[in-house]
Each structure stands twice: as structure tokens, then as C-alpha cells.
């Protein structure tokens, strides 16, 4: 194929200046994407996936630099272009969908103005024609009533709707190549399926190349032509997608696939990979995965493996596949296998901890220059459900259906913002009527893990201060030493090193920030945790660690979870009961196996049909 049809990174090295030293975020990354091809980049948080995307777009942070290598678009050397010329390449020829729409959208501009701005910058359309194009794209990405929502501000949209606006803004310029960093993370499965179908259509019509960065291996299996697996700043396996999922070669790849939650693994711990990605300021010797690898050879600690050829269109960075090495399938680590002990489910007949009765939430609507109240928008309509002690109720449904609003109402985060009717009885106490000391006591018992860790963590506070804040407010009897012991123990359980406690949120990846948010919610030892998409920003290995942690805490402490998610695999694995929401109301609920195995409502069947499935590996 003509090189003009390729987007390439050649021996790309990126360095970041940090207090701990020089962080080698990318170390010799090579990849190429053809027009019309989907190339998926997968791996754990902190391995370099998002940094690869930013380097391709020349959007590195101020403390970052490209130390070596090339980025080419056909015959064009992107690293040699002046910034003014590079701006014309971004958007028109290479578009990017960022992971966190909350930080990518201008909060003081209407979403339509932001899309129109992109259209007028990169196409010949102007004025009314550009606005009509923006409305068309909002409709194509699944925004309801696009003619009305085009004039909304970002804060009036749900997380999934903001992500759809970002996707519309990027695709409206119809670029040749698209870099998509977790483009469907915040979307429910039906909208995710719609967006993925849209991307496939654009690829077919425009032969658009797509670099897809995601931790959802089900999406990768359904979308990608080729897959590259990253670890600690390096690509460690490249293969056609079907071959990668049928017979992964690198030990890390096999462990990653075994960490996926689904119904078959229900009742037993997921096979989480021990440890975390090593800090990238380390002077590595040998294989970077060796400390976590159950198949490591003595030579792995001293010899750094190259990216060896392992068959047609396949490469793997592992000494097990070095020329002359004895080949063979990687077996399950015996230590991990021994740890897979079934968990007894003895929670049948457990007493109810939370009873929600006829909950309705209405937000005032405003009009005119003075924004006077003109009516009300009913976001939640007569919702009722129960959560028993030590059990998990999963709340599923499309973005904007009222799931998060329900959770926030229960945690008392909507007081003064909305009219709340109905009851939420926690051990017989109506949470909506509590005041003063009684409300403070309830806050110790009910905590929430938010979907967007970037927006929910104070950027001016160190991690230790963030975790200690709740303990100081809700457990004043604990002294400083007890607080520190509790925080250090909890940080390790959620996969954070102790030295991370002295860092600020902006120094972490999205998945690492979510682990901090989870630790903050669990620090005060609540009875009920409202989990609002707590694993949506996590790669599958860390997701497995977090799900194992949540199950372990539930077993040991009798915790209850209201689990808001669009990941049906997670629901199958962790939920005891399921409630399906649509348009602010619950349309079906019951035992997890009954609802997911024999859905009665048409919308539930539609939701399950849209779930991307990963074929089992051998």
C-alpha cells in the first residue's frame, strides 16, 4: 500500500520531567495504521496508551517532550511541522476523541457552538449550513432532540451525553484518521453499539483509519483488525485481532484475558495480575513484566527482550518466543490457580439495609434572561427497590435514564437542587428527612464512588489528604497514627503504592485516579456504597483487582452496593439483583440470573443484544 495512506510512529520515545526523575513514558514504540483499518491499543493504566495518542497529535503536556523517533502521515513528517501547520492537520486529517469529556468541552460555550466552531475551522461550511451539520451529527451519535440540545451547556448533559458531543465534534470534520482514547467508556451499551456502528460506517465510506485505545476487550474483538498490547511504555505483542484472542502469546496477554469478569467466573475471585505497572522513571534491566510473570525465566531479570517475530503479522516481546527458544502454550500460574477458591453465597434471606419507595426527582427548568423557574423536569419517576445487607443491586440503563440521579439523591447530594419525593429508608431512617447529627451519622453509613475521578478529586490536595479528609470529618475519634495506618493499608488494597500518597491527582492516569476515589469512599467504612460506574475508567486487570476487593469487603464487612454500570459483564459477575431503568423509571427488576438470562421487557432484551461479547479463548 502507498505510504501516503499510513499513519506511523517509528521508534517513538517520550520523556516527562517529574520530581522523581525523568519518566520514560514511551520507549521505542512502533505502529502503523492503514486507511480503513482499526488498530487497537490495549493495556493497563499507566502503560503509555494515552501518551501514544498525545504524541501522535503533538499534544504532550508542558513537561513532556519527544526524545527520539518519528511520526509520519504518509510522506509528511509531523514532528517537523511548525505548530501553525500542525493545527491544520489536527481535526481535518487526524481527529482525536479524548477520554474525559468533562475536561475537553468548554464549560461556558454551548455544545452547538463548539461543534460549529470545529466544522467551520476544518470544512468549507459556514453559518446556518454549519449549524445544520452540527444538528445532523448530534442526531447521528444518539443525542435525543438534537435541535433543542444543541443550545445546551455541557453541565446540563450526562457523562455519556458529553462524550457523544465530543464524538460528534470530532467526526463532523470527517478526518482521514481518528485517534479514539476510550471513546465509549462513559456510554451505555446501546449507545456504544450505535457509536461503534457509526465508526464502522465511516470507515467503510471514507476509508478512515482508526487508532482505538480501550480497556474493553469485547469492543476490541468486535472492532479491531489488529491489536497491540502495551506494558510499561513498550508494545509487547502485536497480532491480528482474531489470532490475539484465540491464542495470545505473551504471558501478560493471557493473564489479562483471564481477568475478565463474566457469568462463568461468578462466585470466585477473578484472576487479577499481582502488583502494578512499574514506575516509568525506573532504570529497567531485563523484561519489565518479569516481577509479575508466573512464567519468568532466570534470564528474564537480566535480558531485555526484543519484539520477536512469532508468525505471520505477529510479534511478541518475550524470551519464551526468542529465536531458538522452546515454544509452547503459556500455562496458568499454579499460585494463581490455587487462589481461585469458590466463595460461598450465604446471603439468601438477608435483611434489607436500604428500601427506596416511590422515589421521584424533579429539577426546575428556567427561561428568560433572569432564568426564572418555568416548570420542572422529572428525571426519576416513582422508582422503588431494595438493597439487602451484604448484597449488590445493579442499576443499568442508557445514559440520561436517571441512574446517577437516583444514586445522588440517596447520598443526599441533591438537597436544594431538586424536589425529591418518596422515601429512602436506611435501617428504617428516612434519609430525606435527616438533619444535623443524624444526617452526619448517615453520611458515615452511605458513601459514593463517582464516575469521573478527575472532577471529584480536589486537584490541590495530595492523595493522603484526600483520603484523610473523610476520616477526620466522620471518624473524629481516630488519632493521626490510626488514620495513617488505615490509609496506607487501604491504598495497597486498591493497588496504589505508598509513595503515591504524597502525590497530587493530576500526576496519575485516569484509572489510577479512580482507584484513589474508590479508596476515599471506603476509608470511612460505610455500610452502603453507591458505585457510579466505578470501573469504567479501569483496564481489565485493575478492574479485576477492584472487583475482587469489593467482593472481599462485602464478604468480610457485610457491605451493600448499589452498583450503577453499563458493563453487563460486571453485572453478571458481581450483582445479586438487577434493576433496568429507562426514561426515569424501572422497567424490569429481579434476580440477576432471571433478568439477564430470561429478560421479559423488550428494552432489557434490546440492551442485552447490544452487549459486545468476547469469544472464549482456548
Write out pLDDT tens, residues 561-608.
999 988 888 898 899 999 999 999 999 999 998 898 889 999 998 888
pLDDT value at residue 615: 56
Write out pLDDT tens, residues 19-70.
878 999 999 999 999 989 999 999 887 789 999 999 999 999 999 999 999 9
Distances in whole angstroms, Cα of residue 303 to Cα of each of 248, 249, 502: 22, 19, 33
Got the DSSP string for 523-554? HT--SEEEEESTTTTS-HHHHHHHHHHHHHHH
Write out pLDDT tens, residues 237-251.
999 999 999 999 999
Burial of 8 (0-12, 13-18, 19+ CB in 10 A): middle
CA dihedral 66, 462, 409, 572 (to 10 degrees): 60
**Tally of helices (H runs) and strands (E runs) in the chain:** 22, 22
| Domains along the sequence of the chain with CATH | 3-224 (3.40.50.300), 353-366+379-609 (3.40.50.300)
Coil vs helix vs strand at 73: strand
Dmax (CA) for the chain in angstroms is: 77
Coil vs helix vs strand at 187: coil
Cα(394)–Cα(533) distance, rounded to whole angstroms? 10
Do the beta carbons of residue 548 and residue 261 sit within 8 Å? no
pLDDT value at residue 436: 87
Helix or strand (DSSP H, E) at 228: strand 226-231
Only one residue has cell 490536595, namely: 461
Please tell me the least confidently modeled range out of 162-166, 188-192, 307-311.
188-192
Only one residue has cell 456510554, namely: 187
Instruction: Provide the grid cell at 484.
Output: 495513617
Write out pLDDT tens, residues 420-441.
999 999 999 999 999 988 888 8
Nearest-CA neighbor of 177 among 142, 213, 207? 207
pLDDT value at residue 220: 92
Cα(172)–Cα(132) distance, rounded to whole angstroms? 11
pLDDT value at residue 334: 33
Do the beta carbons of residue 394 and residue 571 sit within 8 Å? yes
Burial of 507 (0-12, 13-18, 19+ CB in 10 A): middle
Amino acid at each position: 500500500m502507498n505510504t501516503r495512506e499510513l499513519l506511523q510512529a517509528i521508534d517513538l520515545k517520550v520523556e516527562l520531567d517529574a520530581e522523581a526523575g525523568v519518566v520514560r513514558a514511551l520507549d521505542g514504540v512502533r505502529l502503523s495504521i492503514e486507511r480503513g483499518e482499526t488498530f487497537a491499543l490495549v493495556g493497563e493504566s499507566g502503560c503509555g496508551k494515552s501518551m501514544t495518542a498525545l504524541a501522535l497529535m503533538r499534544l504532550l503536556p508542558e513537561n513532556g517532550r519527544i526524545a527520539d523517533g518519528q511520526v509520519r502521515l504518509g510522506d509528511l513528517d509531523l514532528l517537523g511541522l511548525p505548530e501553525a501547520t500542525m493545527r491544520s492537520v489536527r481535526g481535518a486529517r487526524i481527529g482525536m476523541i479524548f477520554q474525559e469529556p468533562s475536561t475537553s468541552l468548554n464549560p461556558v460555550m454551548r455544545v452547538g457552538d463548539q461543534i460549529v466552531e470545529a466544522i467551520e475551522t476544518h470544512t468549507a461550511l459556514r453559518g446556518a449550513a454549519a449549524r445544520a451539520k452540527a444538528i445532523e451529527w448530534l442526531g447521528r451519535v444518539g443525542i435525543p432532540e438534537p435541535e433543542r440540545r444543541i443550545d445546551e451547556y455541557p453541565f446540563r448533559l450526562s457523562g455519556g451525553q458529553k462524550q457523544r458531543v465530543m464524538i460528534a465534534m470530532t467526526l463532523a470534520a470527517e478526518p482521514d484518521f481518528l485517534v479514539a482514547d476510550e471513546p465509549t467508556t462513559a456510554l451505555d451499551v446501546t449507545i456504544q453499539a450505535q457509536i461503534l456502528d457509526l465508526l464502522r460506517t465511516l470507515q467503510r465510506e471514507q476509508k478512515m483509519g482508526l487508532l482505538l485505545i480501550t480497556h474493553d476487550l469485547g469492543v476490541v474483538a468486535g472492532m479491531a483488525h489488529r491489536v497491540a498490547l502495551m506494558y510499561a511504555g513498550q508494545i509487547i505483542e502485536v497480532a491480528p485481532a482474531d489470532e490475539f484472542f484465540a491464542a495470545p502469546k505473551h504471558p501478560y496477554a493471557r493473564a489479562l484475558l483471564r481477568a475478565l469478569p463474566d457469568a462463568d467466573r461468578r462466585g470466585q475471585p477473578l484472576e487479577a495480575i499481582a502488583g502494578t505497572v512499574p514506575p516509568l522513571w525506573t532504570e529497567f534491566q531485563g523484561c519489565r513484566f518479569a516481577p509479575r510473570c508466573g512464567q519468568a525465566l532466570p534470564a528474564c531479570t537480566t535480558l531485555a527482550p526484543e519484539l520477536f517475530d512469532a508468525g505471520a503479522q505477529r510479534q511478541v516481546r518475550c524470551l519464551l518466543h526468542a529465536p531458538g527458544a522452546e515454544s509452547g502454550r503459556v500455562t496458568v500460574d499454579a499460585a494463581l490457580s490455587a487462589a481461585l477458591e469458590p466463595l460461598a453465597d450465604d446471603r439468601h434471606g438477608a435483611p434489607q439495609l436500604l428500601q427506596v419507595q416511590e422515589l421521584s426527582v424533579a429539577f426546575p427548568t428556567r427561561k428568560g434572561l433572569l432564568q426564572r423557574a418555568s416548570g420542572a423536569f422529572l428525571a426519576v419517576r416513582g422508582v422503588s427497590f431494595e438493597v439487602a445487607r451484604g448484597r449488590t443491586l445493579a442499576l443499568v440503563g442508557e445514559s440520561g435514564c436517571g441512574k446517577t440521579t437516583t444514586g445522588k439523591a440517596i447520598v443526599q447530594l441533591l438537597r436544594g437542587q431538586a424536589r425529591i419525593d418518596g422515601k429512602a429508608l436506611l435501617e428504617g431512617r428516612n434519609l430525606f428527612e435527616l438533619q444535623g447529627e443524624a444526617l452526619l451519622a448517615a453520611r458515615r453509613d452511605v458513601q459514593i464512588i463517582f464516575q469521573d475521578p478527575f472532577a471529584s478529586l480536589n486537584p490541590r490536595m495530595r492523595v493522603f489528604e484526600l483520603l484523610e479528609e473523610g476520616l477526620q470529618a466522620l471518624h473524629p475519634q481516630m488519632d493521626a497514627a490510626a488514620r495513617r495506618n488505615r490509609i496506607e493499608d487501604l491504598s495497597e488494597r486498591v493497588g496504589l503504592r505508598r509513595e503515591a500518597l504524597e502525590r497530587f491527582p493530576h500526576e496519575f492516569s485516569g484509572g489510577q485516579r479512580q482507584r484513589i476515589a474508590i479508596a476515599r469512599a471506603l476509608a470511612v467504612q460505610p455500610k452502603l456504597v453507591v458505585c457510579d460506574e466505578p470501573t469504567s475508567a479501569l483496564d481489565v486487570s485493575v478492574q479485576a483487582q477492584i472487583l475482587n476487593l469489593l467482593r472481599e469487603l462485602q464478604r468480610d464487612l457485610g457491605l451493600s452496593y448499589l452498583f450503577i454500570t453499563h458493563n453487563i459483564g460486571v453485572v453478571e459477575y458481581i450483582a445479586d439483583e438487577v434493576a433496568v431503568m429507562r426514561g426515569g423509571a424501572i422497567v424490569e427488576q429481579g434476580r440477576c440470573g432471571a433478568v439477564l438470562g430470561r429478560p421479559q421487557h423488550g428494552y432489557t432484551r434490546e440492551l442485552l443484544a447490544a452487549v459486545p461479547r468476547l469469544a472464549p479463548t482456548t
